Structure 1
Amino acid sequence: MTTITYVRTGLIAILSLFIAACSGLPSSAEMPPASELQAEPYMIGVGDTVSVHVWRNPELGQSIVVRPDGYISMPLMGDVKAEGKKPEQLAEEISATLGEFIRTPEVTVMVTNPLSKEFRNRVRITGQVGSPQSVAFQPGMTVLDVVLMAGGVTDFAADSRAVLHRQINGEYQSFALDLEAILTDGDMRTNHGLQPGDVISVPRKQLLRGEL
């Protein structure tokens, strides 16, 4: 091996260490377990079917799909904003407005077809996998489950630098995953349980990192 080759190899190794040190991603071992995160109350979304029942006034009841603009149409009231509200919150608002037309209305709202939940309760995997996926979340689902569903990683995957993006307190935070350890060595330390909304990204190998 020539001196130039030795120098080039050394520079690549040093650069790789420097980049790794500056990545700034915490280990996924620091993630709060999914079981510690409390389920959020259901919010009505676009496409949901809601059933509105007004006691002793069945003619005011409705079973209606939330429109793309987030509204539903109610007798006497016209358009009512439903998107982003809890069913009981929407019932209270409808009851307050109907109180201007009928005496002491008692309103209940039920979501009979939570279509929007299908999109909120999904797990996604992107990047260097056989088939990037957006799959419905299932209790007990792990990182490995989703990777296998996506056809595994490609030959160009920097699988030791995979990242899990999780929404915590309304903001996405990123955590390092080591898919190489999981798939090659059977090391399950980063094979964490997933939760709705998680996104796994698998980057491509880079020459400057000495991965090619």
Structure 2
Amino acid sequence: MALVAAALLGATGCSTSYEKLDGEPPAVAQSPEYVIGPGDAVNIFVWRNPELSSNVPVRPDGRITTPLIEDVQASGRTPTELARVMEEKLGTYVKNPVVTVMVTSFQGTYDNQIRVVGQAAEPKIIPYRDGMTLLDVVIAVGGLTDFAAGNRASVVRRVEGEARQFNVRIDDLINGGNIQANVDMMPGDILIIPEAWF
């Protein structure tokens, strides 16, 4: 278990040391603005210039290409920041361009995703959504396998720059209907679901 958490934290650029605590994971302050990430799709609307407007994917390298403008860094920017960059670049070709960027398909940056590993029916990365809870995450991965030890599951979270691991009780939530076990999830969380011991 500790090796899995350490490996995951190393892969995501987090410290490999963590503190294991019981109880509900603490909330982490988060930015209210969405940050574009690879895999997102963005609609670039250029006012009065429909031929320059387009709906484009954000490539794995974090860049986009639109008519007249190639290889603009989109990942890591908010839609408003990207719109200002596009206006600056289009200014070479268009007088006083006005650009609006709308995200039409969401993946987000790795810092804004939740990873689920272990005995989930479909372990995967899930884009974080505001207000997401443990129940939402379990539903998104299709529940647990027959071999899961849901009450020994844990969440690894960055708290004040340190990675910490907290116990969560998925069996109590899903099978026992204990709504108090439904904790809030945060961007960047890793949910680890171990295998039951027989």
Pairwise TM-score range, normalised by the shorter structure: 0.5 to 0.7
Query: Which runs of 5 or more structure 2 residues have no equivalent in the other structure?
Result: 1-17
Q: Is the 8 A contact 1:133 1:150 kept in 2?
A: no
1:63 aligns with 2:58: no
Q: Which amino acid aligns with 1:46?
A: P
Q: Write the deviation string for residues 57-96 of structure 1: whole angstroms up to 9, x where unpaired.
A: 2222222222232222233333212122111111101111
Q: Write the deviation string for residues 15-44 of structure 1: whole angstroms up to 9, x where unpaired.
A: xxxxxxxx9412233x224xx744542122
**Which residue number in structure 2 is paired with residue 133 of structure 1?**
123
Partners of 1:92 and 1:46 in 2: CA distance: 19
User: Structure 2 length as normaliser, TM-score?
Assistant: 0.63
Q: Which of residues 32, 40, 57 in structure 1 aligns to 2:26? A: 32
Partners of 1:110 and 1:101 in 2: CA distance: 22
Q: Which amino acid aligns with 2:39?
A: G
1:194 aligns with 2:180: no
Partners of 1:114 and 1:98 in 2: CA distance: 24
Distance 1:204 1:85, change over 3 A: same
Give the secondary structure class of the aligned counterpart of 2:138: helix
Q: Is the 8 A contact 1:50 1:65 kept in 2?
A: yes
User: Structure 1 length as normaliser, TM-score?
Assistant: 0.59
Partners of 1:96 and 1:118 in 2: CA distance: 24
Q: Which has the larger radius of gyration?
A: 1
Q: Which of residues 37, 45, 51 in structure 2 aligns to 1:45? A: 37
Distance 1:196 1:150, change over 3 A: farther
Q: Is the 8 A contact 1:125 1:134 kept in 2?
A: yes
Cα-Cα RMSD: 4.1
**Which residue number in structure 2 is paired with residue 114 of structure 1?**
105
Partners of 2:68 and 2:120 in 1: CA distance: 54
1:162 aligns with 2:153: yes
Partners of 1:153 and 1:96 in 2: CA distance: 55
**Which residue number in structure 2 is paired with residue 84 of structure 1?**
76
**Which residue number in structure 1 is paired with residue 4 of structure 2?**
none
**Which residue number in structure 1 is paired with residue 167 of structure 2?**
176
Which structure has more helix as a fraction of its residues?
1
Q: Is the 8 A contact 1:143 1:194 kept in 2?
A: no
Query: When the two structures are aligned, how many residues end up with a matched partner?
Result: 177
Distance 1:174 1:55, change over 3 A: same
Q: Is the 8 A contact 1:144 1:191 kept in 2?
A: no
Q: Which of residues 97, 102, 105 in structure 1 aligns to 2:89? A: 97
Partners of 2:136 and 2:49 in 1: CA distance: 53
Q: Is the 8 A contact 2:117 2:191 kept in 1?
A: yes
Query: Which runs of 5 or more structure 1 residues have no equivalent in the other structure?
Result: 1-22, 206-210
State the 1:117 CA deviation. 4.5
